[in-house]
């Protein structure tokens, strides 16, 4: 159990007795956080409030017990109770620490003190978190530390000692510090190539908590529910500039007034009240516009939109200021069921996109069209359509539909395969229970793994605009594809499979911050070959292609083409989050290079082709890293051939994990290229074959 140190502005206060502690202010007498600075370091303030009587009574009771204990037995009992209280306080202060940086920054002179742990009173307070105050103060008091000045003149940062967090991974899962525009990132090593000109975009998890006006603060439990922020890093002539903005969507706006009453993956802390639960359940398909998973370019004019696994597109200005949700002019959209509460059209996937040389961005929604039977409906957006500019509507054309078996369950599909002639949807055995979604406010409670079921494979043909075949495969689940391509009548899908438990355990924000042990299994990268010429209902087995990895990237001019190399993230086995980068040869089925640095955590990789390259792996990989020993994030450029670092540029503060993004070159009309998006006018590249060289 770690020690908590309380510093004050007066160096000799530690000898004061508990009886000298001033009364705790009432809720209506709360202090406003002030700015302060100590030892040259800016620290964040923490404001916490509690009603006067409860805290004062507990402190005085503890003081009386200490002064009145007259036997070794009593002293031992009190010591044991105090130790238990301190241990409980230490465990719970981790939860309290979530709010530390959200509630402001301080700058004042505090002489002769080291402030590791300070409590400041919040005006019209944080009622649930206030339960922490008595046990925290009691623990500190039992260590004979004074809190005499805490409520009068001290400003500081509620900070655990370094051992409270096992490593720096927690910085990926704490709220972004501030919005910035065009801030130069210091190049601290190497040099970015002169030819590298463009912008790396990311959507991601930006705001992990909120403190509505005059109401309790709340924190978000699951990574997929965290409020969205967009970031971009613009590289020009060797210089890197950063933009970072919280997206002020309706969900964000609601969170400034009260806890938003929408279904989420795993709720908030504190949980919904009875009234909040009723409001959520009685609006079963109210759309949450917190679209925090990916960002893509929908038009050749360069307009950028955030997306998620729920319907909608959130547009941002070039400086990343939030604009609005995209207004769509719908062409040929099927009529949704008019039956009560069955008008479902909210579920889609975060990885819509186009393939190389295709001007159409394809996507899908689940629809209930003619009663209690689900349809999967394909749509497309023409990237070259007439465009009135930021904030104007775009046309979306609806194409074919296919019936999804069963009225009560639909598969959770985060992406689908998109090749020159086909779309292949993998309806996995990891499924939403629709009845459960109607019953719960937390979607995770309605997500079920059914290994006894087969995966469904629905094949859509672009030329006819129709679904042409339904096949099956053995049960597996995945977030992302590595790549997919056609080989005659066959569609080859290379897939990073994932244990279904990953989304629950490795996306839990508290577990991520404290680097919990794994509660899931590594799953391999697989190859599934679907022959579109086969008979209806054919069952296709998959084969193991390679090791467990995810967030893979390939050469952007082999998107939807046969290929040799992929680069992705993997686990060293030391952490809950990814901490390795690997280069994998899909032809030899070998990992041929690995990058790892202790307490450094990579984000999604983006491959940018080197001009004039004759080998497929001659690319520059761009990745946003968190550097533990740096205390901040940085952009790294790596050589795709051997994963050697080429350059680093540091952010002025840590950036939360940036989910999915894309690379937009100097010519915006060529799109923003990412995992499922490609150059709409691009042509497949031809490369020499490189002799196998293993650098692991």
Q: Indicate the annotated binding residues for Fe cation.
A: 414, 480, 660
**Cβ atoms 85, 131 nearer than 8 A:** no
Order of strands, sheet of 600-609, starting from the edge strand that comes earlier in the sequence = 600-609, 619-627, 632-639, 645-650, 180-190, 239-246, 227-236, 198-207, 661-665, 672-674
**Residue 12 CB partners (closer than 8 Å, separation 6+):** none
**Cβ atoms 550, 660 nearer than 8 A:** no
For the CA atoms of 281, 283, 287, 291, the dihedral, rounded to the nearest 10 degrees, stands at -20
- Strands 304-307 and 294-297, by their bridges, are antiparallel
For the CA atoms of 483, 484, 487, 490, the dihedral, rounded to the nearest 10 degrees, stands at 150
Token duo for residue 418: 């998109």
Instruction: Name the binding residues.
Output: 414, 480, 660
Q: Number of helices (H) and strands (E), helices first, in the chain?
A: 8, 40
Overall residue count recorded for the chain in this entry: 696
Instruction: Give the Cα separation of 160 and 139 in Å (integer).
Output: 14
Instruction: Give the Cα separation of 225 and 413 in Å (integer).
Output: 17
Give buried/exposed letters for 51-84 (b at 16+ CB in 10 A, else e): beeebbebbeebbeebeeeeeeeeeeebeeebee
The number of C-alpha atoms within 13 Å of 503 and in the hemisphere containing its C-beta is 22
Name the E strands within 405-443: 409-411, 417-418, 422-427, 430-433
Q: Bridge-partner residues for 474, per DSSP?
A: none
**Residue 590 CB partners (closer than 8 Å, separation 6+):** 546, 584, 692, 694
Q: Which residue has the tokens 């009685």?
A: 282
State the angle between helix axes of 72-97 and 52-68 in degrees (0 to 180), rounded to the nearest 10.
150
């Amino acid at each position: 159990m770690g020690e908590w140190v309380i510093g004050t502005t007066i160096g000799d206060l530690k000898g004061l007795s508990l009886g000298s502690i001033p009364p705790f202010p009432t809720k209506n007498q709360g202090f406003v956080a002030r700015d302060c600075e100590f030892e040259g370091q800016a620290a964040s303030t923490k404001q916490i409030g509690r009603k006067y009587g409860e805290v004062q009574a507990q402190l005085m009771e503890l003081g009386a017990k200490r002064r009145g204990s007259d036997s070794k037995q009593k002293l031992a009992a009190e010591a044991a109770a105090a130790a238990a209280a301190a241990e409980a306080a230490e465990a719970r202060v981790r939860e309290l620490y979530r709010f530390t940086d959200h509630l402001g920054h301080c700058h004042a002179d505090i002489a002769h003190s080291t402030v590791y742990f300070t409590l400041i009173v919040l005006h019209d307070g944080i009622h649930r978190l206030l339960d922490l105050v008595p046990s925290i103060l009691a623990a500190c008091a039992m260590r004979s530390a004074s809190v005499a000045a805490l409520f009068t003149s001290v400003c500081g940062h509620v900070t655990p000692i370094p051992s409270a967090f096992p490593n720096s991974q927690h910085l990926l899962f704490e709220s972004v510090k501030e919005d910035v525009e065009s801030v130069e990132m210091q190049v601290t090593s190497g040099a970015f190539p002169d030819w590298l000109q463009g912008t790396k975009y990311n959507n991601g998890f930006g705001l992990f908590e909120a403190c509505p006006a005059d109401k309790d603060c709340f924190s978000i439990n699951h990574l997929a529910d965290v409020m969205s922020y967009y970031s971009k890093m613009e590289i020009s002539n060797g210089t890197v500039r950063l933009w970072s903005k919280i997206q002020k969507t309706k969900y964000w706006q609601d969170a400034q007034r009260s806890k938003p009453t929408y279904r989420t993956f795993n709720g908030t802390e504190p949980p919904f009240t009875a009234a909040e639960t009723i409001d959520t359940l009685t609006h079963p398909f109210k759309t949450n516009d917190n679209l925090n998973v990916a960002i893509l370019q929908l038009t050749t004019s360069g307009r950028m939109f955030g997306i998620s696994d729920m319907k909608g597109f959130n547009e941002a200005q070039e400086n990343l200021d939030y604009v609005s949700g995209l207004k769509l002019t719908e062409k040929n959209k099927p009529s949704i069921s008019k039956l009560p509460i069955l008008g479902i059209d909210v579920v889609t996937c975060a990885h819509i996109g186009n393939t190389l040389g295709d001007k159409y961005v394809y996507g899908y929604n689940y629809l209930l069209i003619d009663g209690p039977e689900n349809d999967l409906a394909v749509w497309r957006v023409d990237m070259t359509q007439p465009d009135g500019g930021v904030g104007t509507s775009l046309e979306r054309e609806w194409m074919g539909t296919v019936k999804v078996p069963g009225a009560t369950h639909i598969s959770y599909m985060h992406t689908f395969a998109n090749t020159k002639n086909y779309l292949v949807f993998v309806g996995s055995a990891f499924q939403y229970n629709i009845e459960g979604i109607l019953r719960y406010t937390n979607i995770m409670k309605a997500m079920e793994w059914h290994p006894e079921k087969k995966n469904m494979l629905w094949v859509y043909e672009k030329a006819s605009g129709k679904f042409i075949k339904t096949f099956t495969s053995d049960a597996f689940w995945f977030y992302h594809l590595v790549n997919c391509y056609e080989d005659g009548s066959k569609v080859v899908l290379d897939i990073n499979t994932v244990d279904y438990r990953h989304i629950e355990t490795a996306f839990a924000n508290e577990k991520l911050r404290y680097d919990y042990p794994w509660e899931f299994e590594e799953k391999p990268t697989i190859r599934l070959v679907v022959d579109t010429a086969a008979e209806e209902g054919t069952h296709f087995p998959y084969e193991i292609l390679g090791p467990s990895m995810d967030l893979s990237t390939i050469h952007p001019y082999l998107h939807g083409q046969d290929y040799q190399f992929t680069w992705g993230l993997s686990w060293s086995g030391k952490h809950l989050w990814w901490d390795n980068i690997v280069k994998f040869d899909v032809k030899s089925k070998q990992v041929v290079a690995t990058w790892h640095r202790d307490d450094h955590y990579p984000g999604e990789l983006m491959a940018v082709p080197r001009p004039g390259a004759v080998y497929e792996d001659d690319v520059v990989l761009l990745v946003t890293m968190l550097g533990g020993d740096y205390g901040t994030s940085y952009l790294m450029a790596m050589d795709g051939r051997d994963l050697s670092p080429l350059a680093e540029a540091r952010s002025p503060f840590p950036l939360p994990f940036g989910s999915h993004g894309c690379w937009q070159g100097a010519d915006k009309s060529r799109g923003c290229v990412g995992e499922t998006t490609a150059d709409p006018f691009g042509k497949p590249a031809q490369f020499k074959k490189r002799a196998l060289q293993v650098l692991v």
